[in-house]
Structure 1
Amino acid sequence: MTRTLASRVIVLLLFLAVALPRVGASQTISSARLHAPWDELLHQYVTPEGLVNYQGLLDEEDKLLDYLLAQRKVSPEAAGWSAAEQEAYWINIYNAATVYMVLQYYPLSNVNDIRLKGKVHSLWEAPSVQVGGQEYSLNQIEREKLTARFQDPRLHFALVQGAMSGPQLLPEAYEGAQLAQQLERQTRRFLNDPARNVLAGAQPQLSSLFNFYAAEFGSRTQLLEFVNRYAPMPVAATAPIEFLPFSWALNDRQPLSATQALHK
């Protein structure tokens, strides 16, 4: 890679300033067609286990950038889409922007190795993408466009951080018509993955994601009720709960050693 993330963001913003008008209520577009480029990339570069072939994606970086640039024309709330289509839209944008940001610093072995040069923002607070003329960070998308509106804790098993301990990236785009099934599948998959949660035994260990978003999962009783909807064997109400350490190692299909990772 020859351009830093900062330079790519500048190019992105300059392009957006002169891009086509956004899609509104009178100029709708199929949400499935809009996400087709992202869906194609996911099918090609994400394994069934949710690992990402970042090396291969480098060759398709411009295609991913074009997909993100196209969001300048989109106003989800005015496009005539259902609530499920809008929710799927923002999940896709969050995940695509996360993958694109990783590519700007690839190769690297750990998400925490990313340092935005000349920026005071963290990776999650830095402006990442424009939608309908509005600039958003990853945290803004998560909090304002998803969590606050839909209040669905299953979202946290669909949004990826590029980390091994985080949710697996689904090798397909989220779609409004399939969203309920996709979220259920991802939540069940995450909770029953022994690398992310250990539910058997007298002392269950949960992913740190449940701790990070404790306010959304509610009280201990509410948390266990949620977990037991997906656990093969119910976790006892009296069982002490611990949280597993969270690994920020990159969810790379071909992990790099520390000496191989070339930090920008």
Structure 2
Amino acid sequence: MSKTWRLFTHIFLFAIALVSMVAHAAPKSDLWPFWNQSNEASTVTVSHDKWQQLLDRYLVKEGQHTLFRYSTVSQQDNAQLQDYINSLTLLDPRTLNKAQQYAYWANLYNAVTVKLILDNYPLKSIKKLGGLFSFGPWDDDVVSVVGKTLTLNDIEHRILRPIWNDPRTHYVINCASLGCPNLPPQALTASNSEQVREVAAQAFINSQKGVMPEGKQLELSSIYEWFASDFGNNEKAVLEHIQSYSKNPDIAGWSGKIKYRYDWNLNEKK
């Protein structure tokens, strides 16, 4: 291999690594004002029955995980999932009250994520999706709602996070990975989303993938590093949030080292 070719190879690999690092940097909460509207007098109820039916058929609990049986999804059920997504995109969520909106956006995010996996299955990780220099599909256009093209990052970081300012949102939207908070077995609704968020927060924080003391070191999910601003913007505030849900007495008053980790393997039931 010539020196010129070696130099080119090193530059190319460095560029890929640099782009991956930038892509992996967690997006900030950045409000898209267009979506920050609601009609609190609205009594319209959005049906999420089709999504619930799919969860009942294909989501299974195994240890600390809920796993999706992607390989067994029938063509009919795959079409049902697309029909459900289409039914949501035909609505204008701004005409709904805020409680209906929250369930709308969280379920849409999760349903689109599952559809992306199904459309590209088999694969080992959602990170394999997206373009050459992408870290996953989160910046890809996935749906259009009232004429606005949306990415998964738009739904999470420009709608859900800045409008509701609820750190528990991280526990109910799922990135199809083992390290992620579980895909909720219940479709969110206006009436159950508070309970689902609470249950999901407690489940994740009391799982090894969420919080795990290891001697003098505390291993935390990387979501507490990537989205520290949502949990109070410093490790002390993050630990206070964790302690409010943790059943482990070793967490109380933690002052040792903290390490972050994440498992990007697919949340698949084989």
TM value normalised by structure 2: 0.77
- Equivalent residue letter for 1:203: Q
1:246 maps to 2:262: yes
> 8 Å contact 1:211–1:243 — kept in the other structure?
no
Match of 2:87 in 1: 70
1:163 maps to 2:189: no
Mapping of residues 1-264 of structure 1, within 5 Å: 29-31=44-46, 33=47, 35-48=48-61, 49-59=65-75, 60-79=77-96, 81=97, 83-116=98-131, 122-199=136-213, 201-217=215-231, 218-234=233-249, 235-254=251-270
- Equivalent residue letter for 1:162: A
> 8 Å contact 1:204–1:239 — kept in the other structure?
no
Q: Which whole-Å CA distance do the structure 2 matches of 1:120 and 1:170 have between them?
A: 27
Q: Which runs of 5+ in 1 are unaligned?
A: 1-23, 255-264
Instruction: Output one character per residue of 1:45-77: Cα deviation in whole Å (capped at 9) or x when no partner.
Output: 101341001012253211111111122321112
> 8 Å contact 2:221–2:262 — kept in the other structure?
yes
Q: Which whole-Å CA distance do the structure 2 matches of 1:206 and 1:120 have between them?
A: 25
| TM-fit CA distance, 1:139 | 0.3
Pairwise CA RMSD: 2.4
Instruction: Output one character per residue of 1:167-212: Cα deviation in whole Å (capped at 9) or x when no partner.
Output: 1111220111111110000010001012332047542211111111
- Equivalent residue letter for 1:72: T
- Equivalent residue letter for 1:52: F
- Equivalent residue letter for 2:208: P
| TM-fit CA distance, 1:131 | 2.2
> 8 Å contact 1:197–1:244 — kept in the other structure?
no
| TM-fit CA distance, 1:121 | 8.7
Task: Point out 4+ residue stretches in structure 1 off by more than 4 angstroms.
Answer: 24-29, 119-122
Instruction: Describe the SS at the equivalent of 1:243.
Output: strand
> 8 Å contact 1:71–1:132 — kept in the other structure?
no
Number of paired residues?
A: 226
> 8 Å contact 1:160–1:169 — kept in the other structure?
yes
Q: Which whole-Å CA distance do the structure 2 matches of 1:115 and 1:58 have between them?
A: 25
- Equivalent residue letter for 1:157: Y
Q: Which whole-Å CA distance do the structure 1 matches of 2:69 and 2:257 have between them?
A: 35
Which structure shows the higher strand fraction? 2
- Equivalent residue letter for 2:89: R
**Which of the two has higher C-alpha Rg?**
2
